Amino acid sequence: MNRKPSAAESIATHLVLSAAVAFSLYPILWVISIAFSGKRPPEARVLPLITEPTTAHLTAVVGTSRDGHWIFGQQLANSLVVSAATAAVGVLIAIPTAYALARFRFAGKETGVRTLLATQMFPTVASAIPLYLLLDKLGLLNSRSGLVLCYASTSVPFAIFQLRAAFEAIPVDLEEAAMVDGATRFQAFLKVALPAARPAIAVTALFAFMSAYNEYILAATLLDKEEMFTLPVLLKSFIGEYKQEWEKFAAGSLVVALPVMALFYVAQRHLIAGLTSGGVKG
Amino acid sequence: MASVTVRDLHKKFGETHILKGVSIEVPRGKFAVLVGPSGCGKSTLLRLLAGLEEATAGTIHFDDRDVTSLAPRERDIAMVFQSYALYPHLSVRENMAFGLKLRKTEPAEIERRVKQASAMLGLDHLLDRLPKQLSGGQRQRVAMGRAIVRRPSLFLFDEPLSNLDAALRSQVRVEIRKVHDELEATSVYVTHDQVEAMTLADVIFVLNKGVVEQAGHPLDVYARPATRFVASFLGSPSMNFIDVELARDGGGWVAAGKDELRVTFDAKGFEKGLVAGKQVTLGVRPHEVELFSKSATYRTTNERGAPLTVSIVEALGTESFAHGKLGGASFVARLDAAAQIKKGETVELAFKTVHLFDRETGQSLRDEA
């Protein structure tokens, strides 16, 4: 069914798609207009136009410093380090687990999988207080490692499911061929299964990175020192009980979104391939 | 190269008994084919030879070396998989070099062997491509190349041609045999395709339900099948089987069946198995019949031919297959196209050779079978 669409069909398609794009972009355009408007625009208006263009809010957010210490830089670093570490720890734990679940038969396998699934049913908020108490006992409150520990523990189950499906989609023949060729079981995993699962691993790592990067509730619960804040906590701090700095919030949101957008841009090919892998036989 | 000796090999998966005491012997440098229907255990036997499955009982020796419990990498074998199992992230060159690199072979030696194998298989211009950039036939050749560069003591093939189209299949089949001869290797080849089995093998093992029904040179097995199963499995179209009763007829023997079927046959070779009044199965290959003629003399015949009522004729040019009923059973006869047999006709056939099988056990009644 590859016939060329008629002009009318083409126009209709483009109209529908343009409407969909406008629908998704509208809130973002609002954020942009607020971030770059010098004067707070009147609340009730339809078009998100920039009034009295300025970059003052942006420089105010990015340039925040205390006692000569560049606080925004510190918080950006916190976010990046915590997210990268979460992705690394999560994927490193998930890979061997997922491989074992995909390839071996052992006692308690199904029970284990069901337990993992059950952990996914609890909202993060439910574990916030217990995690706070645990980290307090361990002396890890207000630390990046404490946050990484919490994030990794929540990202691992999802990563395991994701990677298990990826390993199951790799034909066992490949590893058997490697073993006949002279590889040990571990070498077959390392040199054949792992490279074949690379797109899925990249996607899983990206998801873990993003969920950590965007997480607010745990970060707000476990961190109370400004220099340890991650970016979502910083953003929320602009909206207080007595003072609402929506311009800074909007400008900050744009800056915060940049690293993730860049990552998506770089990884989009892998991302699409990874999301469809397993569903369609290659 | 090595010889292969398998003794009383058993394999169970849970309660399922796949191999029930298989013994085979493949001399050095021979091409052995394991053939049988789906589920007969032939692929399991090959995987046991490769070390990819553990034997439940029994032993496997390569020459004098007991390899029964060795890991695949300790067996010095190479295997060509049905799916080819090429490493998708490695180029053709890297696929072929993979095993040698693992064994820490000198890079110059690796390069030399890859060059040699790729020249042998016509892969020179493809060395830098990835498997996904190759056609089915090319992938198959890369899988062969990967096996060849290793120079193993034993080659294992698991239905390597089943994913190729018919034309390519016969071409690659010839190549496989050529490579085997050039390398003077020992090969074990699994297939369910009897043409592959007949054309490739020095020695053929027909498996059925986890046991070896018959082993031997393919032409011997074809000419003297030991069981009704082997007789029906080898040959295309399949052998015809007719229920008959044995009776004495003067000095000779006669097999009598429904529809006035009476086949007088030479008892030579059958002496021990013949008992008057015994219910047996008469086997006749479609290619072992011809139109009855009173003037000719037959080793196996009677005063008049066996009547075949023709219901369908498949004309293939030089020959025709006449399908119909004979002695109360379905029957296919290969006849010369010149005979111009028509649908609905009844023709009289003479059998050039007959096979007799015990009705109960399926064993051949032939003395030396």
- A–B interface: beta-carbon pairs under 8 A: 63
Residue B335 in contact with residue B319, Cβ under 8 Å?
Answer: yes
In angstroms, what separates the C-alpha of A158 from chain B's closest C-alpha? 26
Q: Cis omega (within 30 of 0) on the bond before B237?
A: yes
* Ranges of each domain in chain A: 7-54, 61-276
pLDDT for B12-62, tens place per residue? 999 999 999 999 999 999 999 999 999 999 999 999 999 999 999 999 999
| A25-39 average pLDDT score | 88
**Tokens 């994913």 found at:** B163
Q: Is the pLDDT of residue A42 over 70?
A: no
Q: Is the pLDDT of residue A258 over 50?
A: yes
pLDDT for B216-265, tens place per residue? 999 999 999 999 999 999 988 999 999 999 988 877 788 888 887 888 88
State which residue of chain A sits closest to B143, comparing Cα positions: A177
In angstroms, what separates the C-alpha of B322 from chain A's closest C-alpha? 44
The more confident residue out of B367 and A40 is B367
Q: Is the pLDDT of residue B106 over 70?
A: yes
Q: Is the pLDDT of residue A119 over 60?
A: yes
pLDDT for B53-96, tens place per residue? 999 999 999 999 999 999 999 999 999 999 999 999 899 999 99
| B275-282 average pLDDT score | 90
- Chain B environment of A169 (Cβ under 8 Å): none
Interface contact A174-B150, CB threshold 8 A:
no
Residue A232 to residue A254: CA distance in whole angstroms? 12
Residue B264 to residue B274: CA distance in whole angstroms? 13
Residue A197 in contact with residue A210, Cβ under 8 Å?
Answer: no
Residue A143 in contact with residue A229, Cβ under 8 Å?
Answer: no
Interface contact A182-B52, CB threshold 8 A:
no
pLDDT for A68-118, tens place per residue? 888 899 999 999 999 999 999 999 999 999 999 999 999 999 999 999 888
pLDDT band at A16 (very low <50, low <70, confident <90, very high): very high
pLDDT at B209: 94
pLDDT for A154-191, tens place per residue? 899 999 999 999 999 999 999 999 999 999 999 999 99
Among candidates B72, B86, B88 on the partner chain, residue whose Cβ is nearest the Cβ of A179? B72
B13 three-state secondary structure: strand
The CATH T-level fold of domain A61-276 is MetI-like fold (1.10.3720)
- Chain B environment of A176 (Cβ under 8 Å): 50, 52, 72, 79, 81, 85
Interface contact A177-B87, CB threshold 8 A:
yes
pLDDT at B303: 63
Among candidates B85, B89, B132 on the partner chain, residue whose Cβ is nearest the Cβ of A177? B85
Burial of B235 (0-12, 13-18, 19+ CB in 10 A): middle
State which residue of chain B sits closest to A173, comparing Cα positions: B85
What's the distance, Cα to Cα, between the start and end of chain A in Å?
Answer: 21
pLDDT for B297-352, tens place per residue? 665 555 667 889 999 999 888 899 999 999 889 999 999 888 888 888 888 888 88
- Which stretches of chain A are DSSP H helices? 7-36, 56-62, 71-103, 109-119, 124-138, 144-169, 172-181, 185-188, 194-196, 198-214, 217-222, 231-237, 246-276
In angstroms, what separates the C-alpha of B204 from chain A's closest C-alpha? 24
Interface contact A171-B73, CB threshold 8 A:
no
Interface contact B98-A184, CB threshold 8 A:
no
Interface contact A179-B73, CB threshold 8 A:
yes
pLDDT at B295: 63
pLDDT at B322: 94
Least confident of A28-42, A268-282, B43-57, B338-352: A268-282
pLDDT band at A243 (very low <50, low <70, confident <90, very high): confident
CA distances from A125 to A131, A158, A220, A228, B124 (A): 10, 17, 11, 20, 61
In angstroms, what separates the C-alpha of B186 from chain A's closest C-alpha? 16
Q: Is the pLDDT of residue A136 over 80?
A: yes
Label each residue of A234-260 as H, E or C: HHHHCECCCCECHHHHHHHHHHHHHHH
Interface contact A187-B102, CB threshold 8 A:
yes
Interface contact B103-A176, CB threshold 8 A:
no
pLDDT at A41: 60
State which residue of chain A sits closest to B103, comparing Cα positions: A182
Q: Is the pLDDT of residue B103 over 50?
A: yes
Least confident of A27-31, B261-265, B280-284: B261-265
Label each residue of B123-175 as H, E or C: CHHHCCCCHHHCCHHHHHHHHHHHHHHCCCCEEEEECCCCCCCHHHHHHHHHH
